Amino acid sequence: MNVDVLNRSGVRPAASVRAAIADCDIHPRITGTKVLEPWLSRQWREHLETFGMTHRQPFEKGAAYPKSQPLASRRDAWPPGGAPGSDLGFMAHQHLDPNNVALGILNPLTPSGQGAMNPDLSAAVTHAVNEWQVAHWTSRDARLKASVVVPYEDGEASAREIELRAGDPNFAQVLLLTRTAEPLGQRRYWPIYEAAAAAGLPVGIHAFGFGGWAISAAGWPSHYIEEAVGHAQCCQSVLTSLVLEGVFERFPTLKIVLVEAGFAWAPPLAWRLDRNWARLKQEVPRAARKPSEYIRSQVWFTSQPMEEPEPRTNLLDTIEWMGWDRLLFATDYPHWDFDDPATALPLKLTEDQRAAIFRENARAVYGL
Amino acid sequence: MPDAGPIDCDVHPFVPSLKALHPYLDRFWRDTFIRRGLEELNSTSYPTVNPLTARADWREAGGKPPSTPARLAANVLDPMGTRLAICNCLYGVQLLYNEDMAIALTRALNDWIAREWLDADPRLRASIVVAPQNPHAAAEEIDRCAADPRFVQVLMLVSGEAPLGKRQHWPIFEAAQRNNLALGIHAGSAYRHPVTAVGWPTTFTEDYVNQAQAFQSGLTSLLAEGVFTKFPDLTVVLIESGVTWLPAHAQRLTKTWKGVRPDIPWVVQAPDEIMRARVRLTVQPFDGPPDARGLERILDHLGSDEILLFATDYPHWQFDGLEALPPGIPDGLRRKMMVDNPLRTYVRLKQTLGETVA
């Protein structure tokens, strides 16, 4: 998977013979805050020019742990003269058309304003990013749906942004990142869930972010691989918090989609939660029901990066434990660990199972 | 040894109060603790009143966790026919910021374990508790205690000041390896960092559930830093970690390693293979699925019948009655977990059993 030149076009079947898929994790690249200027007030344009935008991490630019590839992207995903994910035409030609993507969920990452240290700047930039997604992406390609990026450390401001997008068919979900200042079940974030549930928008929670905490409970590890693998632990902690703090109980129509953190960890986590809840539920009365019941009914998982057991059929047990209606296919285009829909799920599935994972589950979650 | 009883790889001697350690402290530290009014060092990871910390029917009159070898014998060793039990003492020595204080207390704690527990019941073995705040002093403590063959393991918490595999900890691993001691990693935190990677939780329940994620990160760190490569004879035992998270974690680590191998070039074998060969887990808690078929499948996912070690986690409340294993474990695996796997993992056990172990 980690090769310098990957010319996939030669080995690809024609789109017409491939079933339509939903891709629940596509990253359109914001090439810099300059592109957001049409939707930023003069105050914030000047602020960005004078002070920039900083996050709770060491380096001004780039990740705390240097990625394994430039911009963590496929070597073949660079459009002429541009950055991966920045050009709709190139993306359509390389990914949407040949893979017959009928529904693509856009999840813009840095510099989206999410997790910016300055909360007011975070609110201004995330708002602009939402306008940018409509102007540059969803209004130009009906297959694509945007995510409402919100300044999640400020619950009230986030709720206002969600209310602004409620009912707008350009948007399919609200987007949060996993690494926040506090575990996402805590009450400062509840206005987000309340607004999302009211708007009928699922809340996608994507790996990464800028909470300022080490990515392990024992502190900062040394290597990129530890961070990359660590996102699965972060996501487990997020789900644990949502369950035990009572978010699902309080917002019974809320749908949570966990994005880019894998999924094979979910059944063992549910077993562990159930077991401890049975013993200690007096301490967590806001989780009124067995944790696995909330997870089974209100949580979905995108598939990439998919765990690859030996033998691969073990994955069938995992999906059985999760429920066949829980898994949403995603490629993570244009990132280096892209899962190719032609090869990513090498299992004998029934037509219905394949359709569910590659398309129908997404349609059901997003109501599209 | 066909009829031998089980080897219990995780029981916890409870330190009734700091006063119990006074006889094992030198005069300076004994006076210091008295003068400063320090009476106990129990960790937030196991609040003494919490139901999980001690099973209700095992608590002493007055409610304290059971704190004598006689109670351990009466509660589990005798009724289960236990052949050997490994004492993992959880006391807040790793939590202290003053490393001199931590070193002094660690020495006292290990001596207390030897005199008050190992001497009291011939079935008992123990882990050497170390203060990783000062790895060189920890290594000296390992060498000191290892003269007593009843110590079979070095004990660390999964969450300390820095990720487990970091090179600063290597003197500890080197000392463990040279003394044929396993490296035991136990649930619990020194609280230098939140127990989640996304900040501080609000409940004990959340803290405890998140220990499994801490173990995942800890295992990643040991692997990524090259500990398994550098110390080829070291076996790592994850204690009270939960078990069923392991396959998914090993798969993700292996898949990511295939993608970014140059990040950790010293890891030349697939992580899941390394783990099967070098990592062992105690089986309480197991965190298994609710049904027999699910149990059968997840045991298959683990990919080895040699990695699980029988444990009661006494006196923590993981099960009721005397059946410590989840129902449905096949007989052959039960025997391996109870006898064969512990004897292979803890090579020093055979030294003290002499001729009786073939």
Cα B195 to Cα A165: distance, rounded to the nearest angstrom: 36
pLDDT of residue B354: 66
Q: Is A346 exposed, middle or buried (0-12, 13-18, 19+ CB in 10 A)?
A: exposed
Which are the contacts of A281, defined by CB distance < 8 A and separation ≥ 6? A287
Interval A78-99 mean pLDDT: 97
Least confident of A338-352, B59-73, B207-221: A338-352
Kindly state the tokens that stand for B107: 């020495």
> In chain A, what is the straight-line distance between the N-terminal and C-terminal CA atoms, in Å?
32
Contact check, Cβ <8 Å, B290/A234: no
pLDDT of residue A1: 39
Say if A118 is an interface residue toward chain B (CB within 8 Å): no
All residues of chain A having their beta carbon less than 8 Å from the beta carbon of residue B298 are: 268, 317
In this structure, are residues A260 and A231 in contact, taking their beta carbons and an 8 Å threshold? yes
Say if A113 is an interface residue toward chain B (CB within 8 Å): no
pLDDT of residue B345: 98
Q: What is the CA radius of gyration of chain B?
A: 19
pLDDT of residue B353: 80
Say if A228 is an interface residue toward chain B (CB within 8 Å): yes
| pLDDT exceeds cutoff 50 at B105 | yes
When the pLDDT of each residue in chain B is averaged and rounded to a whole number, the result is 96
Read out DSSP for A110-168? SSSSTTBSSHHHHHHHHHHHHHHHIIIIITT-TTEEEEEE--TTSHHHHHHHHHHHTT-
pLDDT of residue A12: 52
When the pLDDT of each residue in chain A is averaged and rounded to a whole number, the result is 94
Contact check, Cβ <8 Å, A238/B200: no
User: Distance from B101 to chain A by nearest Cα, in Å?
Assistant: 21
Cα B67 to Cα B61: distance, rounded to the nearest angstrom: 11
pLDDT of residue A18: 78
* Amino acid residing at A124: A
All residues of chain A having their beta carbon less than 8 Å from the beta carbon of residue B255 are: 305, 307-308
Residue of B nearest to A278 (CA): B205
| Phi then psi dihedrals of residue B264, to 5 deg | -135, 70
Least confident of A103-112, A292-301, B2-11, B276-285: B2-11
Any idea how long chain A is?
A: 368
Strands A101-106 and B7-11, by their bridges, are unpaired
- Write down the ipTM of this complex: 0.97
Measuring CA to CA, which residue among B144, B102, B110, B104 is closest to residue B126?
B110
| pLDDT exceeds cutoff 50 at B34 | yes
Contact check, Cβ <8 Å, B262/A68: yes
| pLDDT exceeds cutoff 50 at A5 | no
Cα B99 to Cα B190: distance, rounded to the nearest angstrom: 13
- Fill in the DSSP letter of residue B60: P
Interval B26-48 mean pLDDT: 96
**Could you give the domains of chain A?**
9-366 (3.20.20.140)
Cα A96 to Cα A89: distance, rounded to the nearest angstrom: 10
Select the more confidently predicted residue: A345 or A277.
A277
Contact check, Cβ <8 Å, A225/B212: no
Substitution target in A272, A275, A301 with the highest count of B β-carbons within 10 Å is: A272
Measuring CA to CA, which residue among A36, A249, A210 is closest to residue A119?
A210
Cα B146 to Cα A364: distance, rounded to the nearest angstrom: 61
Kindly state the tokens that stand for B126: 């123990």
**CB-nearest partner of A309 from B193, B224, B251:** B251
Counting residues of chain B whose pLDDT is more than 70, the rounded percentage is 98
For residue B128, the cross-strand partners are: B154
pLDDT of A24-55, one tens digit each? 999 999 999 999 999 999 999 999 999 999 99
In this structure, are residues B306 and B336 in contact, taking their beta carbons and an 8 Å threshold? yes
Which are the contacts of A202, defined by CB distance < 8 A and separation ≥ 6? A172, A173, A174, A196, A255, A256, A257, A300, A365, A366
Buried b / exposed e over B22-61, threshold 16 CB at 10 Å, is: eebbeeebbeebeeeeeeebbbebbeeebebbbbeebbee
pLDDT of residue A280: 97
Interval B165-184 mean pLDDT: 98
Interval A86-109 mean pLDDT: 98
pLDDT of residue A61: 85
Any idea how long chain B is?
A: 358
Substitution target in A178, A229, A307 with the highest count of B β-carbons within 10 Å is: A229
User: Distance from B85 to chain A by nearest Cα, in Å?
Assistant: 25
pLDDT of residue A17: 53
User: How distant, in Å, are the alpha carbons of A244, A311, A314, A319, A352 from that of A347?
Assistant: 34, 10, 10, 11, 13
**CB-nearest partner of A276 from B164, B208, B245:** B208
**Alpha helix stretches (DSSP H) within chain A:** 42-51, 88-91, 119-133, 155-165, 190-199, 224-244, 247-250, 266-280, 291-298, 314-322, 351-355, 361-366
Kindly state the tokens that stand for A259: 């994005």
Cα A238 to Cα A302: distance, rounded to the nearest angstrom: 15
User: Distance from B312 to chain A by nearest Cα, in Å?
Assistant: 16
All residues of chain A having their beta carbon less than 8 Å from the beta carbon of residue B46 are: none
Question: How big is the A-B interface in CB pairs under 8 Å?
Answer: 247
What band does A7 get if pLDDT is binned at 50, 70 and 90?
very low
Instruction: Give the number of other Cβ atoms within 10 Å of residue A305's Cβ.
Output: 27
| pLDDT exceeds cutoff 60 at B2 | no
Measuring CA to CA, which residue among B152, B224, B163 is closest to residue B192?
B163
Interval A181-200 mean pLDDT: 98
Cα A173 to Cα A313: distance, rounded to the nearest angstrom: 32
The dotted CATH code for B7-356 is: 3.20.20.140
pLDDT of residue A346: 86
Measuring CA to CA, which residue among B263, B266, B269, B298 is closest to residue B283?
B298
Residue of B nearest to A209 (CA): B198
Interval B265-294 mean pLDDT: 97
| pLDDT exceeds cutoff 50 at A2 | no
| pLDDT exceeds cutoff 90 at B338 | yes
Would you call the peptide bond into A305 cis, given omega within 30 degrees of 0 as the criterion? yes
Q: Is B297 exposed, middle or buried (0-12, 13-18, 19+ CB in 10 A)?
A: middle
Cα B110 to Cα A159: distance, rounded to the nearest angstrom: 55
Q: Which of residues 55-74 of A touch B (CB under 8 A)?
A: 68
What band does B50 get if pLDDT is binned at 50, 70 and 90?
very high
Contact check, Cβ <8 Å, A279/B264: no
Interval A275-301 mean pLDDT: 98
- Fill in the DSSP letter of residue A174: E
In this structure, are residues B121 and B46 in contact, taking their beta carbons and an 8 Å threshold? no
For residue A191, the cross-strand partners are: none
For residue A21, the cross-strand partners are: A101
Say if A268 is an interface residue toward chain B (CB within 8 Å): yes
Counting residues of chain A whose pLDDT is more than 90, the rounded percentage is 92
Percent helix, strand and coil across chain B, each to the nearest 5: 45, 10, 40
Tokens 């020595």 correspond to B93
In this structure, are residues B196 and B210 in contact, taking their beta carbons and an 8 Å threshold? yes
What band does B352 get if pLDDT is binned at 50, 70 and 90?
confident
Domain-by-domain residue ranges, chain B? 7-356
